[in-house]
Amino acid sequence: MVYRVSPVLFGESAGATLALSAAQYLRDQNQDQLAGLVLFYNNAGGFKPNARAYSQWVWKQYLGPHLATDDPQAVPLLGDLSRLPPVWIGVGEDDPLMTDSKKLAELLKVHGQDPILRVYQALPHGFLMWTGSLQPAFNALQESVEAIKVMHESKNT
């Protein structure tokens, strides 16, 4: 017997932004095999002139010399957010990317999606790196794993 398991794209920060962009691209190519998206503290809103210098530098490297800040392939919140697989979003309440995470959830709702947005008290950006020593971070990771299981069950039944 052959079992087909649909993938879930998982990412943190820039990785979450890339996962969202990939899901949009796959949808546009009529590739609907994704079971879902698990996005921790996404940066899908694009370049922020008031961000810290390192964050601005990273965006400039990503966008290239022309700073294509209006390109929906680079800035997924500017793109079409309809017909995506289920989306689970996790972010710490002390994360500077809280705005992008909330905005993504709002825009997904506008496009008929029912995303899950989990805000974790007193956790900063990048908190998953502390899952081995910080119980709330471990709990957030565990919750995302449970969401992945539900996504798989829903897609593969």
Query: What pLDDT, on the 0 to 100 scale, is given for residue 58?
Result: 86
Domain count of the fold of the chain? 1
Is the model's pLDDT at 2 over the cut of 70? no
Task: Tell me whether residue 72 is in a domain.
Answer: yes
pLDDT tens digits for range 147-156: 999 999 888 7
Burial environment of residue 33 by CB neighbours within 10 A (0 to 12, 13 to 18, 19 or more): exposed
pLDDT tens digits for range 89-139: 999 999 999 999 999 999 999 999 999 999 999 999 999 999 999 999 999
Query: What pLDDT, on the 0 to 100 scale, is given for residue 17?
Result: 95
Is the model's pLDDT at 4 over the cut of 70? no
Task: Tell me whether residue 27 is in a domain.
Answer: yes
Q: Domain range spanning residue 145? A: 8-155
Task: Tell me whether residue 54 is in a domain.
Answer: yes
C-alpha to C-alpha distance for 8 and 10, rounded to whole angstroms: 6
The continuous run of DSSP H or E covering 24 comes out as: helix 14-28
Across residues 2-25, what is the average pLDDT?
90
Task: Tell me whether residue 3 is in a domain.
Answer: no
Task: Tell me whether residue 33 is in a domain.
Answer: yes
pLDDT tens digits for range 110-119: 999 999 999 9
Task: Tell me whether residue 1 is in a domain.
Answer: no
Cβ 85 vs Cβ 37: under 8 Å: yes
Task: Tell me whether residue 119 is in a domain.
Answer: yes
Task: Tell me whether residue 37 is in a domain.
Answer: yes
Look up the pTM and report it: 0.92
Percentage of the residues of the chain whose pLDDT score is greater than 90: 72
The CATH number covering residue 106 comes to 3.40.50.1820
Is the model's pLDDT at 60 over the cut of 80? yes
